[in-house]
Structure 1
Amino acid sequence: MADTPQFMQNFRQDINARASMDLEQRRTWYSPVADVYYNARPHYPKELIDRSVALAQLDSDASILEVGCGPGNATVAFAQFGFSMTCIEPNQDFYHLAQHNCDRYPKVTICNTSFEEWQLEAKQFNAVLGANSFHWIPPEIRYTKVASAMCDNGFLILLWNLTPEPKYEIYQVLEEVYQAYAPSFARYDGAEVQAEVLRGFEQEILDSNCFQELVVEQTACEVTYSIDDYLKLLITLHRVEPQAKELLCV
């Protein structure tokens, strides 16, 4: 099990390191696994999407700016409401996948650029959406630029799918394999540590002084993977060692 204080220190360092990467490095980070990311990563539960829309008081003519849409894992779910969406994605592979996945939604526009490079459209959006992406944005612009893009009384919707973990008894069976082939997976976070991760994000939002009336909700999900699909999931996770990715892809 992870030691919570030490884990959180390492986690914050990891988050800051990724957000501080050279833009070109961040732009291509997921390119080797782009094709499997959309299907392998857990999608967002419908009840969570519905709840987000209700809390943000979005009607069908609302406009949404999505920061880092990836291949469209959350984009499609929100596009089904008929919203006008401008979706920013710097990774070219994800950009093409998002275009394909959203081609039946004419009010969705995918822009192949980074949030840093995107020309600000001030006070144009009823909501800004970040789904498993917001921690990739440099902290010096993460909240201020988002706040500037929102209409008065706009909403920031942040979604995270934390790293899927098997039940602890299953993990105990897998631990020997993890130690041999992918040591980073030998760490078991558990619900307490994952909740602490979310609290860290919550505090950062409050500390930005850009937003108020924070609402936090969590949904526990259970997903069943085949062996092949589980291996695909593992190679999409940033903490997999390069040699382990090679073994998983064989």
Structure 2
Amino acid sequence: MFNEVPELYDRVRPGYPDELFADLVTVTGMDEGSSVLEVGCGTGQATRSLAALGCSVTAIEPGREMAALVRQRIATFGNVEVETSTFEEWDDRGGRFDVLVAASSWHWVDPSIGWQRAHDVLCPGGWMALLGHVVVRRPGELEVYAETADLHERFCPGNPG
């Protein structure tokens, strides 16, 4: 569904704060020499931030229209390659990565394949970073956000927000 309306998806999807990527660098030790695999890059919201760090990024996106949009958005970066594939079917060509990032996308990966595959494509001592949004109910927000928070709590119990 997202692939049919990539511009709309990009416009309404929340982005990620710069502090998140600063923390990612601190925790993983990634730098300009690091190789990053991004699984399910969507329209490139996290991809742009990863590219700005200067590391080498391989971004995988199964949706052709989504992948086309991210290619446009990162065209000025020479350190990003976007491949159209699912993670499960992607040809890694023997490549290994220092960090695997999945920004609000890991839930789309088949767990019977994905976890082992992630292990296999990471360098020894590599990092896997699963990034996502936390639904927080704030006073004064529209009722739809309150309803979403209730559903999130119901299906993801223990969420501190």
| Structure-1 separation of matches of 2:156 and 2:32 | 33
| Structure-2 separation of matches of 1:188 and 1:96 | 30
CA 1:198–1:109: 2 relative to 1, 3 Å: farther
| Structure-2 separation of matches of 1:188 and 1:114 | 28
Q: Which runs of 5+ in 2 are unaligned?
A: none
The answer on 1:170 being equivalent to 2:130 is no
Matches within 5 A, 1:124-203: 124-163=96-135, 167-171=138-142, 174=143, 187-189=147-149, 193=153, 197=156
Amino acid in the other structure paired with 1:118? W
Amino acid in the other structure paired with 2:81? T
CA 1:92–1:198: 2 relative to 1, 3 Å: farther
CA distances 1:164-203 after superposition (whole Å, capped 9, x unpaired) = x6634433xx4xxx6xxxxxx773425x929x83869xxx
| Structure-1 separation of matches of 2:24 and 2:156 | 20
CA 1:48–1:167: 2 relative to 1, 3 Å: same
Return the offset for 1:135. 0.5
State the SS of the aligned residue for 1:187: helix
Matches within 5 A, 1:220-239: none
Q: CA RMSD in A?
A: 2.7
CA 1:112–1:188: 2 relative to 1, 3 Å: closer
The answer on 1:82 being equivalent to 2:54 is yes
Return the offset for 1:142. 1.7
The answer on 1:68 being equivalent to 2:40 is yes
Return the offset for 1:97. 0.6
Structure number having the greater helix percentage: 1
| Structure-1 separation of matches of 2:13 and 2:148 | 19
Which of 4, 12, 15 is the equivalent residue of 1:43? 15
| Structure-2 separation of matches of 1:170 and 1:160 | 21
CA 1:119–1:47: 2 relative to 1, 3 Å: same
| Structure-1 separation of matches of 2:122 and 2:93 | 9
CA 1:134–1:53: 2 relative to 1, 3 Å: same
The answer to whether the 8 A contact 1:130-1:159 is kept is: yes
Identical aligned residues as a percent = 28
The answer to whether the 8 A contact 1:67-1:130 is kept is: yes
| Structure-1 separation of matches of 2:65 and 2:118 | 24
| Structure-1 separation of matches of 2:157 and 2:36 | 23
CA distances 1:106-129 after superposition (whole Å, capped 9, x unpaired) = 110000111111123456100001
The alignment covers a number of residue pairs equal to: 160
CA 1:188–1:114: 2 relative to 1, 3 Å: closer
Amino acid in the other structure paired with 1:193? E
| Structure-2 separation of matches of 1:48 and 1:34 | 24
Q: Which runs of 5+ in 1 are unaligned?
A: 1-28, 179-184, 201-217, 221-250
The answer to whether the 8 A contact 1:123-1:151 is kept is: no
Q: Calculate the TM-score normalised by the size of structure 2.
A: 0.87
Counterpart position of 2:89? 117
Return the offset for 1:59. 1.5
Matches within 5 A, 1:88-103: 88-103=60-75
